[in-house]
């Protein structure tokens, strides 16, 4: 039986003391779903796993429902296959500009591709110290003054693109790719 590997990015857990989940508890919870090679990375809700189930919407719903059942709150889950995660990293248009310092690079992952009219509306906004580019289901960010100072927050993109999203720094994305590769 062929296993596909995935990265699940949970939105908004363990941020500012809200929606607290210990990663060990999350692993125990998600293990009951039959996932194999389950691994977590840091406390912000990054989970790598493999499964024979290739139905991404069903997997996403199973994880969200399990978190609701076991922890008592709603959490949006953005799911990417290992091949997608590799493509996300390869497609970063700001990598060359960042050269040796990638600390200002972030990826906002959207639940699906944004509708064209919402992308057009997004073009109305420009922030000189913050660069972004939407490619597929990802928004690539280069926050020259740091993510803590940007107007291009996760909430900004969720409101403008009318989609659920979660944002991770470049280091986390690279680590999740490394974890996924170790599972294959």
**Bridge partners, 35 (sequence order):** none
Say how far apart CA 146 and CA 90 lie, in whole Å: 22
Are 134 and 119 contacting, i.e. CB atoms less than 8 angstroms apart? yes
Percent of the chain past pLDDT 70, that is, above it, reads 98
Are 142 and 152 contacting, i.e. CB atoms less than 8 angstroms apart? no
Local confidence band at 180 (pLDDT 50, 70, 90 cut-offs):
confident
φ, ψ of residue 46 in degrees (nearest 5): -115, 120
What pLDDT is attached to residue 99?
63
Tens digit of pLDDT for each residue in 125-175? Answer: 888 889 999 999 999 999 988 899 999 999 999 999 999 999 999 999 999
Tens digit of pLDDT for each residue in 30-66? Answer: 999 999 999 999 888 899 999 999 899 999 999 999 9
Reply yes or no on whether the pLDDT at 17 is more than 80: no
């Amino acid at each position: 039986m062929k296993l596909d590997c995935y990265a699940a990015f949970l939105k908004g857990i363990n941020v500012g003391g809200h929606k607290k989940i210990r990663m060990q508890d999350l692993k125990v919870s998600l293990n009951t779903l039959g996932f194999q090679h389950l691994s977590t990375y840091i406390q912000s809700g990054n989970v790598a796993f493999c499964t024979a189930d290739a139905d991404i919407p069903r997997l996403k719903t199973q994880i969200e429902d399990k978190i609701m059942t076991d922890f008592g709150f709603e959490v949006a889950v953005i799911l990417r296959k290992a091949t997608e995660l590799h493509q996300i990293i390869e497609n970063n248009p700001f990598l060359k500009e960042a050269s040796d310092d990638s600390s200002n690079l972030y990826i906002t992952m959207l639940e699906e591709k944004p509708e064209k009219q919402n992308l057009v509306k997004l073009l109305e906004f420009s922030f000189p110290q913050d660069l972004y580019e939407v490619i597929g289901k990802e928004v690539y960010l280069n926050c020259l003054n740091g993510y803590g100072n940007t107007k291009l927050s996760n909430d900004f993109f969720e409101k403008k693109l009318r989609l659920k999203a979660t944002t991770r720094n470049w280091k986390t994305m690279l680590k999740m790719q490394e974890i996924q590769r170790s599972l294959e």
